Amino acid sequence: MASGAPRLVVGVDIGNSTTEACCARVDDDGGVEYLGSGLAPTTGIKGTPDNAEGVRKAAGQALADGGCRWPDVDLVLTNEATPVISGLAMETITETVVTESTMIGHDPRTPGGSGIGVGTTVALADLAERAAGEDVLVVVPAAEDFEDVAEALVAAARRGVGVRGAILGGDDAVLVANRLEETLPIVDEVTLVDEVPLGMLAAVEVAEPGRTIRTLSNSYGIATLFDLDAEQTKMISPVARSLTGNRSAVVVRTPGGDITDRRVPAGSIALRGRSSTVSVEVDAGADEIMRALARIRPLVDAEGESGTHVGGMIAGVRDAMSELTGQRPDEVAIEDLLAVDTLVPQEVRGGLAKEVAREDAVLLAAMVRTSRGPMEQVAAEVRRVLAEEAQRVLEVEIGGIEAEMAVGGALTTPGSGEPIVVLDLGGGSTDAAHADTDGEVYSVHVAGAGDLVTTLIDAELGLDDKQVAEEIKRYPLAKVESFFHVRHENGTAQFFTEPLAPELFARVVVLTDEGMHAVPGRHDLATLRHTRREAKRRVFVVNALRALEQIAPGGTLRQIEFVVLLGGSALDFEIPDMIADAVAPHGIVCGTGNVRGSLGPRNAVASGLVAGHARGRRVSGAA
């Protein structure tokens, strides 16, 4: 080995989504002087020759940052990049099918009147023909003028017709209610008002402002109004359930009891361990699945029952993985699963105002470790690309096990010490590495991380927009309370001298780096915040504990003293605190890493590669 002058060494960590690099001067007795760092998106799938471009960029940045030039580089170290790929699937496990047009349960912002009215549905045009003494609910198309409607209702009432309420297509409920002689419940903004069945017994309920309906959201309330027997009440109960929390609702009784509650078989999932296989019904819920998984761990593979929801889910994950890795679907082995219970909004069939009901669903994240990537090919390509930069052949080494390197880098965090566990909070998986006091390193990868959080937020809020969900995940919320101030989610107010855009007025916004973005939909701030935090808790806190239990000596968390959080999600504004809170009862010091005292949770593996190399030199120098 050459001795004398210190060598310029570049460490490169090819990650699933980002490639990080650092450059350092390493002298003969193992002293390391870090000079610069760089970061670039990983090009291609981790562990393939496509990665070379990302390496060129990240390493180039590190050199520029350190004031170094390519021709002076003596050695490039890269990690052994075994791709860990994860896939997601979600399926509702129960499905409430409400057949025919039986209910309207929605929250027009301004319904009219209040109370509950029961009568036969009749079109406005036919109201004049109704006889005195008949109880009716008037169904009004959107195009009708509010004054004409009010006049017709008043005229009918004066003739002795029992006008008990109205269902409007337009946004006119208050206007109509204000022009009547008595207070009637009026529901408006019913999108599909033309499809309300006529000549049927129905009930309209509107609660006072600030209240929610009490009768139509109660199965026995509906049973009382419609004189239902026990069997019929059982069938109407999903309707009552989906009306809960509304300020107004309509239930139309269609003959023959056209309401059915159908459970679609969710199927079972077979978890194969090394010595046994356990089968779990998915509709038993996420907890049951996770308990079964803990019993047979380590997981060798998972299979879904074919012809069921879960069968489709697992097959979907497998296909996606095989497409990514080029392996045959039957070669793809699922090494870990995370099941999360969730409630997702589903449009109610038979609803007339785009009502949604929240249905139980299970979200599965699966993780696959592919066969070890062709690292020599990657190194060759990196060598070729970097030779272009340096104008000569550079020495490129594959520098050891990633987990070991991550621990090495994490230990450069001031205040950390052994026994240490590194938790790498990534996009697809949460990885843990444990170094005991002898320097022995163990690692574990568990399914589910940042991408799963985004998916949960997207699904639970019914956004159907990954970008919006990503912003809700990453940034704090605020409510725009006037043209000049917002109230942050922690309750503090902030004033602006420049007026805020009218589009943001009274909206809940995410405070992104590029300014405020209004959150679409009608969710209030408290709901958004709760959904965001619960998604993070169910993924990251659950996975942190799962990973720590698997890696801690004897499965006892008390054996761990230090946990250092690394990876992109360790930069999140609340995830590190949530994990720290969860492990604090076990006497663990936990926090976001600060690699080399200045880089935060970034660059641990790259720095660890260089540190490992330096240690090697010291050892060989001493020998």
**Which residues sit at the interface with another protein, rule CB under 8 A?**
107, 109-110, 146, 171-175, 178, 189, 210, 247, 479, 481-484, 487, 499, 502-503, 505-508, 518, 520-525
Q: Which is nearer to another protein, 391 or 492 (CB)?
A: 492
Q: What's the CA gap between 428 and 86, in Å, rounded? A: 5
In the complex, the smallest distance separating the C-beta of residue 496 from another protein, rounded to whole angstroms, is: 12
In the complex, the smallest distance separating the C-beta of residue 465 from another protein, rounded to whole angstroms, is: 14
In the complex, the smallest distance separating the C-beta of residue 78 from another protein, rounded to whole angstroms, is: 49
Q: Which is nearer to another protein, 383 or 488 (CB)?
A: 488
Q: Which is nearer to another protein, 312 or 345 (CB)?
A: 345
Q: Which is nearer to another protein, 421 or 457 (CB)?
A: 457
Cβ-contact 421, 590 below 8 angstroms: no
Q: What's the CA gap between 387 and 127, in Å, rounded? A: 87
Cβ-contact 18, 42 below 8 angstroms: yes
In the complex, the smallest distance separating the C-beta of residue 107 from another protein, rounded to whole angstroms, is: 5
Closest residue by Cα to residue 70 from 320, 391, 358: 391
Annotate 519-584 with DSSP letters as a single string.
Answer: PPSS--HHHHHHHHHHHHIIIIIHHHHHHHHHHSGGG-GGG--EEEEESGGGGSSSHHHHHHHHHG
43: which 2 tokens? 């090009």
Closest residue by Cα to residue 295 from 303, 287, 306: 287
Which letter, b or e, does each residue of 482-511 get, where b requires 16 or more Cβ atoms within 10 Å of its Cβ? Answer: eeeebbebeeeeeeeeeebeeebeebbbbb
Give the angle subtended at the CA of 506 by the CAs of 359 and 348, to the nearest 5°. 20
Q: Which is nearer to another protein, 353 or 611 (CB)?
A: 353
In the complex, the smallest distance separating the C-beta of residue 171 from another protein, rounded to whole angstroms, is: 6
Q: Which is nearer to another protein, 499 or 621 (CB)?
A: 499
Task: Report the half-sphere exposure of 444 (CA within 13 A, side-chain side).
Answer: 24
DSSP-based helix, strand, coil % in the chain, nearest 5? 35, 30, 35
- Between the alpha carbon of residue 189 and those of residues 145, 192, 409, the distances in Å are 14, 9, 60
In the complex, the smallest distance separating the C-beta of residue 509 from another protein, rounded to whole angstroms, is: 11
Is there a cis peptide before residue 298, judged by omega within 30 degrees of 0?
A: yes
In the complex, the smallest distance separating the C-beta of residue 178 from another protein, rounded to whole angstroms, is: 7
Q: What's the CA gap between 424 and 410, in Å, rounded? A: 10
In the complex, the smallest distance separating the C-beta of residue 506 from another protein, rounded to whole angstroms, is: 5
In the complex, the smallest distance separating the C-beta of residue 213 from another protein, rounded to whole angstroms, is: 13
In the complex, the smallest distance separating the C-beta of residue 175 from another protein, rounded to whole angstroms, is: 5
User: Cβ neighbours of residue 574 under 8 Å, at least 6 residues apart?
Assistant: 533, 536
Q: Which is nearer to another protein, 220 or 496 (CB)?
A: 496
In the complex, the smallest distance separating the C-beta of residue 138 from another protein, rounded to whole angstroms, is: 18
Q: Where are the beta strands (DSSP E) in 370-419?
A: 395-398
Q: Which is nearer to another protein, 220 or 484 (CB)?
A: 484
The separation between the first and the last C-alpha atoms of the chain, rounded to the nearest angstrom, is 12
In the complex, the smallest distance separating the C-beta of residue 462 from another protein, rounded to whole angstroms, is: 14
Q: Which helix (H) or strand (E) holds 270?
A: strand 268-272
Cβ-contact 493, 504 below 8 angstroms: no
Q: What's the CA gap between 452 and 512, in Å, rounded? A: 20
Residue that is written with structure tokens 């269609």 in the block = 254
Given its phi and psi angles, is residue 307 left (phi above 0), alpha (psi -120 to 50 degrees) or beta? left
Q: What's the CA gap between 318 and 65, in Å, rounded? A: 41
Residue that is written with structure tokens 């299979």 in the block = 303
Given its phi and psi angles, is residue 555 left (phi above 0), alpha (psi -120 to 50 degrees) or beta? left
In the complex, the smallest distance separating the C-beta of residue 520 from another protein, rounded to whole angstroms, is: 7
Q: Which is nearer to another protein, 348 or 366 (CB)?
A: 348
Q: Which is nearer to another protein, 178 or 306 (CB)?
A: 178
Q: Which is nearer to another protein, 58 or 500 (CB)?
A: 500
Q: Which is nearer to another protein, 11 or 112 (CB)?
A: 112
Q: What's the CA gap between 581 and 586, in Å, rounded? A: 10
Q: Which is nearer to another protein, 220 or 505 (CB)?
A: 505
Q: Which is nearer to another protein, 389 or 481 (CB)?
A: 481
In the complex, the smallest distance separating the C-beta of residue 97 from another protein, rounded to whole angstroms, is: 27
In the complex, the smallest distance separating the C-beta of residue 354 from another protein, rounded to whole angstroms, is: 11
Q: Which is nearer to another protein, 7 or 523 (CB)?
A: 523
Q: What's the CA gap between 417 and 563, in Å, rounded? A: 9
Alpha carbon 95 to chain centroid distance?
21
In the complex, the smallest distance separating the C-beta of residue 331 from another protein, rounded to whole angstroms, is: 48
Q: Which is nearer to another protein, 439 or 520 (CB)?
A: 520
* Length in residues, the chain: 623
| Edge-to-edge strand ranges of the sheet holding 186-187 | 103-106, 248-252, 201-206, 115-123, 135-140, 162-168, 186-187
